[in-house]
Amino acid sequence: MSFVKRAVGRMVHRWWAYVREAAAVTPAATGAYRFRSLGEGVCISFPQGAIFGEQWIEIGPHTLVGERVSISAGMGPGVDLGPDSIVRIGGGCSIGRGSHIVGHQSIDIGDDVFTGPYVYITDQNHVYDDPETPIGRQWPRNRPVSIGSGSWIGTGAIILPGTRIGRQSVVAGGAVVRGEFPDHSVIAGVPAKVVRRHSPGLGWHSPSAIARTPLSPPHPAGRPAPLS
């Protein structure tokens, strides 16, 4: 019996490996033609999550999209969203399994951006303008999202509408991010804030280090520098 189980197990694993390879979305696959742009070497792994609005989605070359990742443009399939792309993922990116990228106006992810699993990125949020109307029935509000090239987004992070993250930045796992953040930032917390930055001359430092930096170097022999 153990021999039969091992043989069946090998067959199942080989079959599943074949299915995963055959069902992945690549530039050579039939499904690639639905996208506005799918660069060379792109792989959207099988099984895929919910993917719709492909003609408003661009993915740059050599980007890997993990299993069960949902990428959508618009509220649902079959809606005309205008002439411009809405979700743009750069080249050389890696989108972790189970993540969701939900675009309605503009989501721009730069080159070489890596995410952990289960990251949520959206440019739309509910509003609370009318306290008497159920929140889910109020018309949502959109604000563009931008993630700079070379950044890393940790596991379970949530990127909310209106967020602009600079280049080469890190978002800690579980952070809830809204607002604008400069290049070379480490962003953490709920709500997220900059906890470290990199600046020329200071290297990596806490944001308050700049305020503590003297405006002019001390005079030789410990005497105060003369006023100019």
pLDDT tens string 110-134 = 999 999 999 999 999 999 999 999 9
Residue 91 CB coordination number (10 Å): 18
Helix (H, G, I), strand (E, B) or coil at 73: strand
| Average pLDDT value for residue range 24-43 | 91
% of residues, the chain, pLDDT over 70: 91
- Token pair for 132: 């008497």
Split at pLDDT 50, 70, 90, the class of 69 is: very high
Give the model confidence (pLDDT) of 184-225 as tens digits: 999 999 999 999 998 888 888 888 765 554 444 444 444 444
pLDDT value of residue 199: 85
Q: What does the alpha-carbon distance between residue 25 and residue 39 come to, in Å, rounded to a whole number?
A: 12
Helix (H, G, I), strand (E, B) or coil at 187: strand
The domains of the chain, with CATH numbers, are 38-210 (2.160.10.10)
Split at pLDDT 50, 70, 90, the class of 169 is: very high
Choice between 81 and 227, residue whose per-residue pLDDT is larger: 81
pLDDT value of residue 203: 86
Q: What does the alpha-carbon distance between residue 169 and residue 160 come to, in Å, rounded to a whole number?
A: 16
Measured CA to CA in angstroms, residue 226 lies from 2, 163, 215 at distances of 88, 45, 13
Q: What does the alpha-carbon distance between residue 103 and residue 119 come to, in Å, rounded to a whole number?
A: 14
Helix (H, G, I), strand (E, B) or coil at 52: strand
From 218, 200, 223, 225, select the one nearest 210 (Cα to Cα): 200
> In the annotation, is 104 catalytic?
no
Full-model pTM: 0.86
Are 148 and 166 in contact by the 8 Å Cβ rule? The answer is yes
The residue annotated as part of the active site, out of 126, 184, 198, 219, is 126
DSSP 74-141: SSSTT----SS-SEEE-TT-EE-TT-EEEESS-EEE-TT-EE-TT-EEESEE---S-TTS-GGGSPPE
Are 178 and 192 in contact by the 8 Å Cβ rule? The answer is yes
Whole-number mean pLDDT of the chain?
89
| Average pLDDT value for residue range 75-102 | 93
Place of tokens 């949020």: 125
pLDDT value of residue 224: 45
